Amino acid sequence: MAEPEGKVDWQDGKSLSECMMYMLKKEIMCDVTFRVGTDDQSIIKAHKYMLASRSPVFYTMFEGSCPEKGEIIVTDINSATFKVLLKYIYSDVLDLSLDNIQEVLYVAEKYMLSTMKDECTSLLLSSVETSNAPGVFNVASHFHLEHLKIKSLEHIQKNAAECLMAPNAIKMSKECMEAILKLDSIYCSETDICRFLIKWASHYCESECKTASGENLREITGPLLYLVRFPLVDKEYFANEIAHSGLLNSEEVISVFSSHYGRKNGFFAELVRNSKLCYLKDCTVWRHRSVASPWYQHSGKKFDALNVNVNRNIELTSVILFGPVGNVSSSAREITVKILNDSGNEIFTQKYESCTQSSELQTVLLSEPIPINANTLFTIMVDSIKFDAYYGKQCKPKCRIDDIVITFENSPNCTTGTSVEQGQIAGIEFNA
């Protein structure tokens, strides 16, 4: 067992998480050892008590009917990701980026850490309508996050030229590539799509230590190759870059050249993809003009509530809440969001784990869009917030986005100081 350095005061005046992290790093009183990785395994020590207190999987591992004894072998996680996991368990701090999110989300699911998964989902949500949409689409597809999957693919459709140039786009799975290549509507040319498929396949050749020859590219792409509409690819580009590359066989090349002179080819579709896309508009509404703090936590069961009316049919996709002032303990993070119809009946409820650190706003992405009819009142209810939060001041009773009018009204369900003028519930996101 490692000992603390005698001259280092690692306890007095330190927070619980600081002390626990010190004990983890210095291996003080550790009672479980992990061998992490595949070929070059790392020895990582920890404390059963801490692991079991945060994860039901670790609790069963140590306290179940057949508890683990001796070293625990973990081959499906690399050491860097395992250390991210331990840091989160010990301190509630998550070292997360789009570069490691797939690995971190995997360990969050494996060890059943719902709050860790929520932070991953929040990062994906914040990146879904950026050039990082291909990376979000890839992760969302892998982990069956259907709403994020749909939103990211829609963004790729509308911004394909930008998204397909993003560095993370070439890392998409074959399944994601297939979904994009099957689109009949996308805002880019067929030549752009062809170039991207070759770039994507070249990346996979490189990862498998193969040269990016036409034959190897053909092997990597497989059936995906026949989703490219080669008769619509720029003729000069096809003649100079494709025809003699080995990507297509001679019969396919002749067929494409023949299609340039009106003959029908038997290999590739010739229907032009529609680049004039018609989508529901993604709308975000904030009702506050300024943000203040703190909105003190309430004792007992209380509800912040607002009535909302929109003059168009919408799909409610998110509720925007005010975040905590300062850090939040694990026991105080859970929030429940409810949607009531115009009869006062509950039509949707969802639990949400608040972010752990100070943040003015936080978005609750609803697990499924909620259809709301035009000019029909609905109510947003949030159960009693257990932490000091930011709140909105000088709030607007009406907001307008083009011809869409959103009206906020006081709700009889509210048992706090939240009102049309101030308080909780910062806004909404919807499709219209």
Do 421 and 359 lie in one domain? The reply is: yes
**Looking at residue 145, what is its pLDDT?**
92
Is 24 domain-assigned? yes
The answer to whether residues 334 and 379 belong to one domain is yes
- The total number of structural domains in the chain stands at 3
pLDDT digits (tens, 9 = 90+) for 136-192: 999 999 999 998 999 999 999 988 888 998 888 999 999 999 999 999 988 888 999
Does the residue 180 lie in any domain?
Answer: yes
The verdict on 47 and 92 lying in the same domain is yes
66 confidence band (pLDDT: 50, 70, 90): confident
Q: Which of 350, 349, 353, 319 is nearest to 333 (CA)?
A: 353
Report yes or no on 132 lying in a domain.
no
Q: Does 349 have pLDDT greater than 80?
A: yes
Q: What is the pLDDT of residues 112-140, one digit of tens each?
A: 999 999 999 999 998 998 889 999 999 99
Closest Cα partner for 169 from 183, 184, 186, 152? 152
Q: Is residue 272 part of a domain?
A: no
- Tally the C-alpha atoms within 13 A of residue 220's C-alpha that lie toward its C-beta: 26
CATH number at residue 78: 3.30.710.10
335: which strand partners?
352
pLDDT of 209: 94
Assess whether pLDDT exceeds 60 at residue 2.
Answer: no
Q: Residue 150 is part of a domain; what is its CATH number?
A: 1.25.40
User: 242-266 burial by CB neighbour count: b if 16+ within 10 A, else e?
Assistant: bbebebbeeebbebbbebeeeeebe
Which range, 6-20, 192-206, 389-403, has the best average confidence (pLDDT)? 192-206
226 and 306: one domain?
Answer: no
Residue 131 lies in a domain: no
Does residue 168 share a domain with residue 114?
no
Domain's final residue, options 87, 122, 157: 122
Instruction: Say whether pLDDT at 193 is over 90.
Output: yes
- For residues 336-356, average pLDDT: 88
Over residues 315-324, mean pLDDT: 90
**Same domain, yes or no: 301 and 348:** yes
pLDDT at 351: 87
For residues 287 and 247, membership in a common domain is answered with: no
Whole-model pTM over 0.85:
no
Domain containing residue 305: CATH number: 2.60.120.820
Chain mean pLDDT for the chain: 90
Write the CA distances from 192 to 62, 103, 160, integer angstroms: 54, 30, 9
Q: Is residue 405 part of a domain?
A: yes
**Can you tell me the mean pLDDT for 96-103?**
94
Name the pLDDT band for 402 (thresholds 50, 70, 90): confident
> Region 386-395: what's the mean pLDDT?
87
Domain co-membership, 288 together with 422: yes
- Whether 10 is in a domain gets the answer no
Half-sphere exposure of 306 (CA within 13 A, CB side): 26
The two three-digit tokens of residue 133, written as one number: 């949409």
Domain boundary among 63, 88, 122: 122
pLDDT(359) > 90: no
User: Tell me: the pLDDT tens digits for 225-276?
Assistant: 999 999 999 999 999 999 999 999 999 999 999 999 888 888 999 888 876 5
> Does one domain contain both 286 and 414?
yes
User: Is residue 1's pLDDT more than 60?
Assistant: no
316 and 413, same domain (yes or no): yes
pLDDT at 50 over 70: yes
Alpha helices in 26-100 (DSSP H): 48-54, 56-63, 79-91
Q: What does DSSP assign to residue 158?
A: H
286, 391: one domain: yes
Looking at residue 277, what is its pLDDT?
A: 52
One-character DSSP codes across 66-85: S---S-EEE-SS-HHHHHHH
User: Does one domain contain both 296 and 388?
Assistant: yes
The rounded distance, in Å, linking the Cα atoms of 248 and 255 is 10
Could you tell me the residue range of the domain that residue 168 belongs to? Answer: 144-259
In a domain, 22, yes or no: yes
**Residue 299 pLDDT exceeds 70:** no
